[in-house]
Amino acid sequence: MDESLKGKLLIASPAIEDPHFRRTVVLMAEHSDDGAMGLVLNRAMPATVSEAVPDLAWLAELDAPVHEGGPVSAQSVVVLAEFDEPGYSALLVEDDLGFVPAEVEDPGALGEALRRARIFAGHAGWGPGQLEAEMEEESWIVVPAEREDVFCEDPEELWSAVLRRQGASLALLSTMPADPSLN
């Protein structure tokens, strides 16, 4: 591993045909020689937080959807949040962006320490060397993350929007239809 991808976005290239990752945007939360972990940002599910995990509804906006974070541990819940007080985070991805701890002793204090949060079911994960092998196959395009990518209002358009802002050939790639045979 040359450089950690923590905090960056992985954009699925057209080479990825796996339905779990086709046209996804993944925020890398951890990346080391031991493996990698990220969250798919652009797969909102039909279920709302209040329907699927009512105990966490206090963390999300009214009727906020649960997002499919990836195929690993799809029954588990991961909460990514912006913190006014990062010390409340279980693990930071950036200075004030991190994960809400699984066990919360004082929900009121934690609620006051958060600016906004997004609830995910599952996550994306790679074993040692697996992501690097996918990078060599040009399966992923690495780009800087912008905070609004994490909390975007229109997840279905995120893949195209992130590619478009890169300019040049990646902007052209953003216009590719989901099913190229329809072109």
pLDDT value at 1 more than 70: no
Two tokens, residue 170? 């990646």
pLDDT value at 101 more than 80: yes
Q: Has residue 68 been placed in a domain?
A: yes
pLDDT value at 84 more than 90: yes
Q: Has residue 141 been placed in a domain?
A: yes
Given pLDDT bands bounded at 50, 70 and 90, which one contains residue 181?
low
* Proportion of the chain above pLDDT 70, given as a percent: 96
Residue 169, burial from CB neighbour count under 10 angstroms (0-12, 13-18, 19+): exposed
| Host domain of residue 22 | 8-153
Q: Has residue 165 been placed in a domain?
A: no
List CB contacts of 119: < 8 A, sequence separation 6 or more: 49, 53, 56, 59, 60, 64, 66, 67, 77, 78, 79
Two tokens, residue 35? 């493996």
Instruction: Give the pLDDT score at 168.
Output: 83
Count of structural domains, the chain:
1
Q: For the chain, give the mean pLDDT.
A: 92
Q: Has residue 43 been placed in a domain?
A: yes
User: Which residue do the tokens 């009727």 mark?
Assistant: 63
More confident residue, 180 or 174: 174
pLDDT value at 12 more than 70: yes
How many whole angstroms separate alpha carbon 98 and alpha carbon 58?
17
Each residue's pLDDT tens digit, 107-136: 889 989 999 999 999 999 999 999 999 999
Each residue's pLDDT tens digit, 24-68: 999 999 999 999 999 999 999 999 999 999 999 999 887 899 999
Instruction: Give the pLDDT score at 179.
Output: 64
Q: Has residue 25 been placed in a domain?
A: yes
pTM above 0.75, yes or no: yes
Q: Has residue 158 been placed in a domain?
A: no
pLDDT value at 172 more than 80: no
CATH number at residue 98: 3.40.1740.10
Instruction: Give the pLDDT score at 154.
Output: 94
* Proportion of the chain above pLDDT 90, given as a percent: 78
Given pLDDT bands bounded at 50, 70 and 90, which one contains residue 83?
very high
How many whole angstroms separate alpha carbon 133 and alpha carbon 100?
31
- Phi then psi for 176, rounded to 5 degrees? -65, 130
Q: Has residue 179 been placed in a domain?
A: no
pLDDT value at 99 more than 60: yes
